[in-house]
Structure 1
């Protein structure tokens, strides 16, 4: 059969006479043209019949078979005019002389894309997003699509916090990246990289999948010495603003040193806040955080820029060094000292809403807060593809003072709190290979103590503390000592698309709580007014982590089994409680990549949460002058069920990022808290063993788009939350629902060259329902409009305006703020001279409302007055 087909093809080909056309191709001077293209086209259809090129001597030859009387021949070559002629379909020799051709090149403008993607790395070109008014890299980050900076400086990517912040691939600041974000000049940075699916431990990179993202700062030079030095002075009253922050970045060494001080409302203490989850401590239920047992009655902070209301006097010193050593080891030292003094002036109008009646309380407040904080960390770290080692030694000391004066109309009160916190801890993590698997050892050991003392004058809660008789002063002392350790071993093994990691671990927490209440007689009150509580908690846990990765699917399943033991004993009160339980707390996470743009993630988890020592003490503790608490009840137990579903879309080439997330929570509690609201607004809280459930739902969405041609960045966001629970208020069981909505948008646009406008708005709606009664809807809205003009060489004019409106239960509140900044730059010497006036309209007070489960709190907060500053800023 095949032979017949070949025969028919040959017969068909020989049905036409074979034609040969050959010749020479040369230029007008007679020189041969090599590599010229020769095409024979069907004259009727213009289909290509035959193709050839000329040789070094300019000769060509074509053979073809076609049933046409005429054919078209086309000769073309670079730098020569194309020739097309019609020839007879017959054997012939045909020479061609080509004429020179002059090419006029059009102007070509090469523009680099502001966002590029290579694998799991998204690169943002800093110069494409920077504006003339910018100074730090944080100023530029807020314009990058997909990246969001919260009010505390935390960086989110696609709605989730980043898990690491690197500078040239090194983790200098261990989560305290505000120090770099607020002080690193954007001009020293070439790119900001988002590392998607970032596994911080290189040894686990091919074994354990991560859905988190990290941020990496790419500098322009291998050797970078940068930073800033700023000196500012002003009036109303005498103001100062000092910042000296030199930085050095090389391939083997990174140094960031900063001394900052101001009384202008700039809360630089936020630069010491840890914003990322540490890769070791995130696995532990660590008891290393300070517990504030006692406090003075505070004012609710306004929900807008701290620079308008924070009355501060702050000093900060931070030294951060990282040195790369031999064999991929790194040595890092972080030291910080903070001295912060803040004042609050204002009033509160609190409305307590119960099922049967309403209690109103009006107070004038004057508060002082003083903080001294020392933090030190020494870390040795190795993170290579063959071994992981990390050991961190931490010390923290915190000395706080709070003083408050309250005019409650019928009485004046003074409050004083002294609080200390001392902590020393060591954390260790090492991973190494044993055969074809990896062995991981984790260990955390920590000790801390928290002595605190509260004095209130005159004495409060006379019925409980002084036989219903008025008295001069009450003192509450609390001393808590804590030892905590958590140790575990795990084995990691990859089998095809699966990764298995069985883990076994042990936790131990030993705490001792001593508390005493002393009245005017200076004799400690006994009985249920004094705690001497020993708390012992141990936990043995077995966990199997199973991960599955194939194509677009990523599944993560943890199945921990925990055996917990609690031994709680207060000998003087002869109160004892022992509790043993075994729990199973599975968690399933699924990530599905629909394509290179779309991603779906879903999580289902179940976990048990048990009470801490501040949720179980058999004697009273006076928390503040309005609240006294005794929790003589079984150990609090909460069973949580959490479900979430999220969609994400990102198209870096079109600079479009969108995400939406829904969460549903259900928490079942074994205890119900009975809150007794007294006639003067004071509260007594007692726990009752009664099962109850708290429901919660939340949905949030954000879309961000950069229009490069229009030089415009647009962001829209939306959120809704609903919480429903039961409370016991004054012995009556009450169902409470809290609803809230928020809407926001942000637009950054260059109107014309040299004029930029930034507009941002936020609207919040809150509503509270007790039983079947809806309370007033609270609406809060903020609108910010900034005009930046740099049409004049070396000069920039900035006008900032802000409009705030709140509807309160007594009246509506409106505030309009206006600021002006003028900056002149000597570019050759990298010096800025800046003059600014803040709060031009001299707004003195701000009113806002906050909602709790059973109260509305209307706060009248004193603001910073009009102030003028002159600054000189040197770029290092």
Structure 2
């Protein structure tokens, strides 16, 4: 332990320079008012890199130490809303007085340069060569080291704890949110810079009209014509392993393409490379995403790399092409096909806590999962300075099936589910300049159909379906259809510092649900309580107006949205001959504020009122078998929820120091007209119903984080923490209870180049989750995981890596899990390729024990892992 502490402390040692000149002074405005937060930069001359910098304190004073052999120095002092002060001074210790004059110079014109980054207004450009280490091959390896950036386990990219908006390559959005393909395959050697576009507005015509709080990323390549990509071939044992992947890509000024084919049985989850992280921020949330009405009982997968646990046989083919037809006009095609077979093997122990009892369910599970999915998008986009047009046709089809076998102490249960799905939609968005106004039009239309079949043997819920007697099988059939359209028109106009954007629109969505239950020998259950013939129509007419204010110096950005909407809901069920109707006129105001406090500090706050109404998944009259031990229905009024949402945050960004800090607090309060009642039987069977009973819930959430790049040590440190506190009411076995939860999380990572022959990567995560009823807590679980990888370089073209992982939880008696890995890599210069031999799971840990809790129950699961395996791969990065 002492050696580990010594290494960690050594990483943070910063050696002092030799002879230095100390420049001190004070900054005032033209009225002799002291200016706090002014930026002081010193360089050799007006075009050279920055030698030293500082920030004035609350009294306007500054002190900057600079090391230079030059006889003279160039001083630059800047402050938001004031003209930049520039002066050549002698290289000697001295006291200065600086007076700044007011200026209308826009903040985005401020330029800051250093050897590893450039800042121009809201754009930060990081040099890839400055961050790239010896074992970094693709751009994702470099991106995770950049301060302010976090790559989540699924590949999602976050900047200052918020998801990025766009992922560009040379300013073009070819992938439409599927950026894992580029991130995991684009050679880092082909990239010159990674640009972070803060407050990025992706629609050019809205750039000066609508303020954006979100950031985007742009990848700058070294060459105008770039051929890049990866190719991998691997084989190993035991059992027989294979891994094959080829991902060629080309980037020119008018054409971009990324094509990939990959196949493996080594546990690599290929589907992650075609995940779509894009989000739609206009119109209603209608879409063609597949919804699961029924499911088989699964084992919760472990919280680490799928290569450790996923037993698979996957094939993925994807093509992504962008063709620039003419200036600002692009045609894009994104299409992928995934075929995957997976096996799951494990056991779970579930304990339910009710106000009157404790119920345990023990299950050993073995599942076979068959995935066949085809999806794609065809997009035509014209993103010009005066006009914007985007039309996107998307389709989604899948033919998935699951087979499961559950062993319980008293019985064996077979599950079988088939889940074919098809959906198609078209999204259109048009913005056109007419005179001094910007006319807008949007249209979103789609259709989806889903047919699901769940078969359970032997039949469950004997008391309900067979007078308490055992019977052979229970089958649930579900058929759903959905068609929708959402259309709007409006205009946007700038009135000095203000922008107004009224919009009128209407939407309608029609959904149909048919469900039937069959017993042994195809015997249909005719009781109306177990059938649904439901039609649900949701329509609305809305007027949404937004007001925006941006100060001349861009230090203030205010936004106020005042949407007024008339919503109408009608639910009919021919089987019950009942109708539920609901008409509401709702007002959902939203206010947000962003304030630049200084060159480095900014603050934000927002408040919103939201209304949520029942979806079809919480509206059907008749019982539906969701899983082999879950029977649900919602024979109650249409649900209504009113939410108040408040947020406030403070951020610090100093590119010169490569230091990013942020903290935020949010509070959500909701009121509901329905409460959901769970009746849990002795064998774990659960009947869920909705009850008309007013209730409320609230949630407090605090987040803080920071990241810092230590330039001299080539080390990136990232730390984050979050705390959540929630309270809501629950009906458990006909008893009303207040359920309270608390969670605390710490996570951090360290990427350090300790010396020319040693690189260390560490990541850790600690979480504590407590749940309980109003009269006391019933369960607290602490979980933690730590990963350390060391890379030893006896020569520049080869390394030996040793990695260790620790996972533990406080609930399970055998909840401690250790893993050790070794690998050796040799790099051939001609041709450029890596030969890697890895030995995974050296300790041959065969099971992973995990535990988690959620409100009124906890689950302890044991998952069968992949055995100790050796894999040799050849990887080309071109």
Taking structure 1 as the reference length, what is the TM-score of the superposition? 0.86
CA distance in 2, matches of 1:803, 1:192: 33
Instruction: Tell me, yes or no, if the aligned pair for 1:648 and 1:659 is still in contact at 8 Å.
Output: yes
Asked if structure 2 preserves the Cα contact closer than 8 Å seen for 1:175 and 1:278, the reply is: no
Query: Offset at 1:150?
Result: 0.6
Aligned to 1:384: 384
| Cα distance in 2, alignment partners of residues 378 and 774 from structure 1 | 53
Q: CA deviation at 1:776?
A: 3.2
Distance 2:327 2:708 in 1: 44
2:595 pairs with 1:595:
no
Using the alignment, how far apart are the partners of 1:487 and 1:793 within structure 2? 60
Distance 1:537 1:752 in 2: 63
1:875 to 869, 874, 877: 877
User: For residues 137 and 187 of structure 1, what CA distance do their matches in structure 2 show?
Assistant: 8
User: What's the CA shift for 1:327?
Assistant: 4.6
Answering whether residue 362 of structure 2 is matched by residue 362 of structure 1, we say yes
Deviates more, 1:460-469 or 1:733-742: 460-469
Which residue in the other structure is 1:772 paired with? Answer: 775
Q: How does 1:140-539 map to 2 (within 5 A)?
A: 140-278=142-280, 282-526=282-526, 527-539=528-540
1:174 and 1:278 in contact (8 A); partners too: no
On the 8 A contact 2:288/2:396 being kept in 1, the answer is: no
Q: Does 1:660 align with 2:663?
A: yes
2:794 counterpart SS class:
coil
Q: Give the secondary-structure state (helix, strand or coil) at the position aligned to 1:528.
A: helix
Q: In structure 1, how many angstroms separate the alpha carbons of the residues matched to 2:137 and 2:796? A: 17
What is the CA-CA distance between 1:305 and the residue it aligns to?
A: 2.0
- Distance in 1, matches of 2:680 and 2:796, equals 64
The one-character-per-residue Cα deviations of 1:209-251 (angstroms, maximum 9, x if unpaired) are 1111110000010000010111001112111111100000000
Q: Secondary structure, in 3 states, of the residue corresponding to 1:303?
A: coil
Q: Choose the corresponding residue for 1:734, options 733, 737, 760.
A: 737
Q: Secondary structure at the match of 2:273?
A: helix
- Rounded Cα–Cα distance in structure 1 between residues aligned with 2:362 and 2:312: 26
Q: Distance in 1 between matches of 2:328 and 2:754?
A: 50
How large is the RMSD of aligned CA atoms in angstroms?
1.2
Deviations for 1:290-327, whole angstroms, at most 9, x for unmatched residues? 11000001111212222211111111100011000125
> Following the alignment from structure 1 to structure 2, what is the Cα–Cα distance between the partners of residues 777 and 447?
45
Cα displacement string for residues 615-665 of structure 1 (whole angstroms, at most 9, x for unaligned residues): 000001000001001110000111111111111111011000011111111
Match status 1:826 vs 2:814: no
SS in 1 for 2:779: coil
The Cα of 1:112 is off from its aligned counterpart by 5.3
The DSSP-based 3-state class of the residue aligned with 1:431 is strand
Aligned to 1:4: none
1:625 aligned residue (628, 633, 650): 628
| Aligned-pair CA distance for 1:812 | 4.4
Confirm or deny: 8 A CA contact 1:123 1:193 kept in the other structure.
yes
Aligned match of 1:541: 542
CA distance in 2, matches of 1:399, 1:660: 44
User: Deviation per CA, 1:36-77, whole angstroms, max 9, x where unpaired?
Assistant: xxxxxxxxxxxxxxxxxxxxxxxxxxxxxxxxxxxxxxxxxx
Deviation at 1:357, TM superposition (A): 1.1
Query: Aligned partners of 1:813, 1:386: CA distance in 2, in Å?
Result: 60
Shift of 1:828: 2.8
Asked if structure 1 preserves the Cα contact closer than 8 Å seen for 2:750 and 2:762, the reply is yes
Q: 2:618–2:633: 8 Å Cα contact kept in structure 1? A: no
Deviation at 1:524, TM superposition (A): 2.1
Contact 2:512 2:534 in 1 (8 A): yes
Cα distance, 1:287–1:793 mapped onto 2, change above 3 Å: closer
Distance in 2 (alpha carbons) for counterparts of 1:617 and 1:471: 26
Q: Provide, for residues 493-549 of structure 1, a one-character-per-residue CA deviation record: whole Å limited to 9, x for no partner.
A: 000000000001111000110000000141321211110001111011101011000
Q: Can you list the C-alpha shifts for 1:59-117, whole angstroms capped at 9, x where unaligned?
A: xxxxxxxxxxxxxxxxxxxxxxxxxxxxxxxxxxxxxxxxxxxxxxxxxxxx9521221
Map 1:665-744 to 2 at 5 A.
Answer: 665-744=668-747
Distance (Å, rounded) in 1 between the aligned partners of 2:656 and 2:118: 6
How big is the shift at 1:287?
3.5
TM-score (norm 2): 0.86
- Whether the 8 Å CA contact 2:772–2:779 is kept in 1: the answer is no
Q: 1:568 aligns with which of 566, 571, 581?
A: 571
Contact 1:755–1:791 (CA under 8 A) maintained in structure 2: no
Match of 1:756 in 2: 759
Partner SS state of residue 623, structure 2: strand
* 8 Å CA contact 2:669, 2:699 repeated in 1: yes
Q: Following the alignment from structure 1 to structure 2, what is the Cα–Cα distance between the partners of residues 704 and 300?
A: 32
Partner Cα distance (2:654, 2:327) in 1: 39
Residue-by-residue CA offset, 1:136-160 (whole Å, 9 max, x unaligned): 1111111000111111111111111
What SS does structure 2 have at the residue aligned with 1:464?
helix
Distance in 1, Cα, partners of 2:772 & 2:796 = 58
Q: Decide which of 609, 612, 627 is 2:612's aligned counterpart.
A: 609
SS at structure 2 position matched to 1:131: coil
Deviations 1:788-811 (A, max 9, x none): 122313111111111111111x51
Q: Which residue of 1 aligns with 2:13?
A: none
After superposition, what is the alpha-carbon deviation per residue over 1:341-385, rounded to whole angstroms, capped at 9, x for unaligned? 111111011111111110111111101111111012111110010
Report matched runs for 1:99-118 at 5 Å: 113-118=115-120
1:425 shift after superposition? 0.8
List runs of 5+ in structure 2 lacking aligned partners: 1-112
CA distance in 1 between counterparts of 2:578 and 2:509 reads: 20
Question: Conserved in 2, the CA contact under 8 Å of 1:556 and 1:590?
Answer: yes
Give the superposition deviation at 1:854. 1.0
Alpha-carbon distance in 1 for matches of 2:318, 2:462: 47
| 1:123 CA drift (Å) | 0.5
Inter-partner Cα distance in structure 2 for 1:534 and 1:621: 16
SS in 2 for 1:818: strand
Larger C-alpha radius of gyration, 1 or 2? 1
**Per-residue displacement from partner, 1:808-851 (whole Å, max 9, x unpaired)?**
1x514111111111111111311111111110111011111111
What is aligned with 2:845? Answer: 843
How has the CA–CA distance of structure 1 residues 872 and 481 changed in structure 2, closer, same or farther, with 3 Å as cutoff? Answer: same
Q: Which residue pairs with 2:804 in the alignment? A: 801
**Structural mapping, 1:32-43, within 5 Å:** none
In the aligned structure 2, how far is the partner of 1:778 from the partner of 1:255?
47
Q: CA deviation at 1:127?
A: 1.0
1:366–1:404 contact (8 Å) kept in structure 2: yes
Given that 1:193 and 1:218 are in contact with CA atoms closer than 8 Å, whether structure 2 keeps it comes out as yes
CA deviation string 1:708-762 (max 9, x = no partner) = 1122211111111111111110000111111111112212222221211111111
